[in-house]
Amino acid sequence: MHIHGNTFIVTGGASGLGEATVRELVQHGANVAIFDINDEGAENLAQQLGKQVFAAGKVDVTSEEAVKTALDKTVAQFGRIAGVINCGGVASAAKIARRGKSSHTMTLDLFDFTVRVNLIGTFNVCRQVAQIMANQDAFTEDGERGVIINTASVACTDGQAGQVAYAASKGGVASMTLPMARDLAPAGIRVMTIAPGIFETNMTSHMNEAAKAKIIKDAIFPERMGRPHEYSMLVRHIIENSMLSGEIIRIDGASRLGKL
């Protein structure tokens, strides 16, 4: 799949891994539609990067109607859709119970919210984008009609204390990879998942230095957090390499998270 001249959707594209992905794709000649709940941030980025980028408005990925409206706008703006990169998500941290009295425990509402955004929101976007791509003309001689790249996390297997909701949501994203690839293969659509370790994003910017040091020590090499550009480089390779489908790729400096 070529990047240049084709159109890709990036959820969570106004910041973090999503923003880096938008910049990477634009740099290589793509048109990009940003789906983000932060419509102001998406619009600012679109203005900065020029006419190749379209801010689709305030897009709640958990809303079927909001995603449909954004997709209709994207098709009207750019035409065929070559792929979607799902970077939108939330982080939550709370243990499910503690000894003694504590208000800081995992509530059902917080668990539901985390799973709804990270897992159900990802599925909602995948399902609707896939339906559009399945009915397009193929982009390649292999019959490829699109690529879906989802974002899980190393927490899906290495979840730390307080990450029950987050790990469950990202585990669901990882588990969808192969069956979704099998579902969509007859339509010429590839499905891949990236499982990042700890990256320098808005989610980690609020961590204190002691917490960051504990996490970084779990990396084998390099001993630092990942940089968003390194994630976006992997996105680019997945798009361009048609033999990649149905797999989860960790990008984490060989880290294995400790219990924290």
Secondary structure (3-state) at 152 = coil
212 pLDDT higher than 90: no
DSSP state of 56: E
CA dist 179 and 162 (Å) reads 29
Predicted TM-score (pTM) of this structure: 0.94
* Residue from 166, 188, 245, 250 carrying the catalytic annotation: 166
User: Are β-strands 31-36 and 7-11 bridged in parallel, bridged antiparallel, or unpaired?
Assistant: parallel
Q: Output the average pLDDT for the chain.
A: 93
Cis check: omega of the bond before 222, within 30 degrees of 0: yes
The one-letter code for the residue type at 136 is Q
Pick from 23-27, 38-42, 104-108: least confident: 104-108
Q: Is the pLDDT of residue 214 over 80?
A: no
Whether the pLDDT of residue 119 is over 70: the answer is: yes
pLDDT in tens, 175-193: 999 999 999 999 999 999 9
**Is 166 assigned a catalytic role?**
yes
Tokens read off for 219 = 């990396």
Q: What is the pLDDT of residues 236-249, one digit of tens each?
A: 999 999 999 999 99
